[in-house]
Amino acid sequence: MTGRIEIRDLRVLGVHGVLPHERMRAQPFSVDVDASFDVAAAAESDALGDTVDYGAVASSAAGVVSHRSFALMEALAAAIARQVLDEHPRVTRAEVVVRKVRPPVDVDVGSVGVRVVDERRP
């Protein structure tokens, strides 16, 4: 039985971007994470030890945003996905969306973002 944990709009400050002013100070990012895994054991036992702790997944994602720095959102999103897979052995697939909440563009947009999907490698 496959299921997933869905984390939406995790807000984290980070230093990411290509432009010089983006590299000078932290800016807000919004992150979504879908962590897929076999939920059969958790559904049967109703025990935290048999599932993936969504708080720990959120902390993994937040740590990448706040403690590392990337020029491109694609690289940031891929690093979050890989971190989730590396730190949470039950997770078989991680889909990550990263959005700049205040992007440096000349038009009125709510956010800009990228989506990446990574899967556990054998």
Active site residues: 100
Contact 2, 38 (CB under 8 A): yes
3-state secondary structure (DSSP) of residue 103? coil
**H/E segment holding residue 10:** strand 2-14
Determine what percent of the chain falls in helix, strand and coil, rounding each to the nearest 5: 35, 35, 30
Measure Cα distances from 63 to 32, 56, 68, 89 in Å: 14, 10, 8, 18
> What phi, psi does 109 have (nearest 5°)?
-130, 150
